[in-house]
Amino acid sequence: MYLSVLTVFFTLYSAASGQRDFPPGFKFGAATAAYQIEGGWDADGKAPNIWDDFIHKNPHVIHNRSNGDIACDSYNLWRQDVQIATDLGLHFYRISIAWSRLLPNSFSNQINEAAVKYYNNVIDGLLEKGVEPFITLYHWDLPQKLQDLGGWTNPLVADWFADYARVAFALFGDRVKTWITINEPLIMCEATYSMGLHAPGVSSPGFGDYLCSKNVIMAHAKAWRIYDEEFRSKYNGRVSLTNHLIWVEAQTKETEELAEISRQFIIGMFAHPIFTAEGGWPSAVERIVADNSKNEGYTRTRLPPFTEEEKELVRGTYDFFGLNFYTSRIVRTANDDEKIGSFPLSGCPEIGVVYEPLESWPKAVVDWFYIYPEGMRKVLGWLKENYGDLEYVMLENGFTNARSGVLLAIKDGVNVTHYTAPKFGLVEVDFNDPHRKRTPRASARYYANVIQKHSLDLH
Ligand SMILES: *[C@@H]1O[C@H](CO)[C@@H](O)[C@H](O)[C@H]1NC(C)=O
Ligand SMILES: *[C@@H]1O[C@H](CO)[C@@H](O)[C@H](O)[C@H]1NC(C)=O
């Protein structure tokens, strides 16, 4: 998804007027990630992160051999971004901090003053215009130095991340009240350590992804506890992570159980340890991986267990449920010897299934986004059923039509309070222009209108 400009699609939900108003107080925002927009990859002391290194060494992996060296040049052009956020009428704007910019040595012994100045400029610039800054601490750009030490497969990364989080809370917490520790553990661990697609391209399915999953959860939990113990009383903000949700649906009665187990692999892995009273991995996932590991002749399960102390440390480390939603799938049993296909999530080989879109779902932009607004509504209902009546905050979503799914879920009684569109789906950046000219798309005008009217009913 990096460096591609997402397009927003319109499928208007038809209902009687008045049915399409968002509740009072519902907030609209837009989201970006540091590597996607900042550029300045080695400016003012910034150290390389895994994407810098990976793409410099493997330029062919990115479309048109582009990279994030300059990206949208937001490191220099941040004033324009603040102005665009203001013009759109956003209530909040979600950015991420580049760990290797703030801490060039990766560790908290050295803070880069130029980075502090840059993030202060953006935060203060937004606040002056009445746009609330949300900050993601980790949007997939690990310092390369830490990758050389094993990255997210090394359990010590949880402490390194916690130290970095403390620095950020201390520097910006007086003004930033909503923090997202980690963006999408599912995609981060699967695409990086299982499929080997994302930087640094480690292909270790059924091992690397599970090590990453546990360490990410521990990292999040330690950061949340630091905020809770050292900063909450002073700054009164809130902290959570954001999960990438894929709605998996059964087409037949026989696959209903497989669909439910799939949801536990895809959503439960990163929600059950944090959002349930029981804590730890979802029991179905734990049992299946343990059985498979035994049958494969391993002496211990490939899924690293949580100790009782770790379960306790992780449980309840949230202030809301953050979610990103893009797409849905149906599940079916894989045929004998069938390759897992284009969507090889860890759960697939473990339970012998394939995930596919329905033919009737329109395809959008990239190969794996298929549009099914009902999926948004159903996943929100499933979350409420499994994790309770929490506050649900949508932190990324690619497609306008899913907004109607959000609205329907709200009417179903799910407490969704925020909606976030990816900003550069709204604004086109000319990467051939040295000045990186930004041009709002039709979708930006539409979104600005939705925000202003607080409704999908624009007449
Ligand atoms: C690919 O790169 C060429 C040369 O820099 C540029 O002219 C073209 O617009 C790029 N295509 C896309 C889709 O970015
Ligand atoms: C939704 O959550 C917010 C934040 O926790 C809370 O203030 C609000 O009362 C909740 N709304 C409903 C309808 O439960």
First to last CA, the chain: 34
Query: Is 128 tagged catalytic?
Result: no
- What is the distance in A from the centroid of ligand 2 to the CA of 240? 16
Q: Is 109 touching ligand 1 by the criterion CB < 6 Å? A: no
What percent of the chain is predicted at pLDDT more than 70?
Answer: 92
Ligand 2 site, CB within 6 A: 391, 415, 417
Q: For the segment 176-211, what is each residue's pLDDT rounded down to a tens digit?
A: 999 999 999 999 999 999 988 899 999 999 999 999
pLDDT tens digits, one per residue of 331-390: 999 988 776 655 678 788 899 999 999 989 988 766 678 888 899 999 999 999 999 999
Residue closest by Cα to atom 6 of ligand 1: 432
CA of 25 to the centre of ligand 2 (A): 10
CA 271-200-207 angle, to 5 degrees, is 50
Looking at all shown ligands, the one closest to residue 62's CA atom is 1
C-alpha–C-alpha distance, residues 354 and 343, integer Å: 8
Residues 6+ apart with CB under 8 A from 75: 38, 39, 40, 43, 118
Closest ligand to residue 66's CA: 1
pLDDT at 16: 37
Angle between helices 113-128 and 74-88 in degrees, nearest 10: 20
**10 pLDDT above the threshold of 50:** no
Residue that has been written with the tokens 């390759």 in this structure: 339
Of 38, 132, 190, 396, the active-site residue reads 396
448-to-28, 30, 91, 283, 346 alpha-carbon distances in Å: 9, 11, 11, 44, 39
- Residue 64 CB–ligand 1 contact under 6 Å: yes
Cα of 64 to ligand 1 centre, how many Å? 6
> Is pLDDT above 60 for 18?
no
Domains of the chain and CATH, by start = 1-236+425-459 (3.20.20.80)
